[in-house]
Amino acid sequence: MSRSLLMSFCIAAFATVCAVLPANSQVPPTRPAYVPTSQGIFLVFPFENEGAGPRLDWLCEGLEELTILRLTAGGQKVYTHAGRASELDRYGLPPNAKFSHATMLRIGADMDADYVIFGKFSSDGKSLSLEARWLRISPTGLAAPVRETGSLDSLMELHTRLTWKLLAANDKAFPLSEPEFEIATSPSFGRFRALYPRLTRQ
């Protein structure tokens, strides 16, 4: 896939995120004025359900989508879910299959990505544990996992901290603090609710 097509995907995703805001909404004065420089092109895979039960299977793609939305709102270049699924279909691969690190590395290289993000989650019905890692394409490198655990209804807060930790671990000079990152990517919540209304019923 060409970088120009990738950029079209990113712009479309970010425009959709912003569209959930009221037309007359004002930018909060605390919103960071500085947008971080993109660390590269990210490819996000669905998160694995590690013992959370089938009731939360929707979070596999849900966390993928939420990660894409937060990264995009945070100034990063990211393949959309549709873009990833389309490329995998072109290769004859199912979009929700579990891939080894080596396979994700090859797919990421073929799609001209710089980083692959993957993760997993577990839940006992009350608490939720999230884990994510990034895999650098070239030179090849695998980051240590970052983890967050809390109540099931604190999904958004847990994911905010998880994504911020991923970016901060990849760039020690990442310019946004965790609270600033939360403010900068807050429109993602509205878009995620629209995509996954199950969130309101958990």
Domain positions in the chain are 3-19+36-201
For residue 78, give the 3-state DSSP assignment: strand
Look over the chain and give the mean of its residue pLDDT values, rounded to a whole number.
80
Domain 3-19+36-201 has CATH 3.40.50.10610: yes
pTM (whole model) above 0.85: no
In this structure, the number of other CB atoms found within 10 A of the CB of residue 168 comes to 17
Read off the pLDDT of each residue in 64-80 and give the average, rounded to a whole number: 92
pLDDT band at 184 (very low <50, low <70, confident <90, very high): confident
173 by Cβ neighbours in 10 Å (0-12 / 13-18 / 19+) ranks as exposed
| Predicted pLDDT of residue 136 | 96
**Beta carbons of 11 and 80 less than 8 angstroms apart:** no
Radius of gyration of the chain from Cα atoms?
16
Give per-residue pLDDT as tens, 122-150.
999 899 999 999 999 999 999 999 999 99
**Does residue 195 register a pLDDT over 90?**
no
The DSSP code for 126 is S
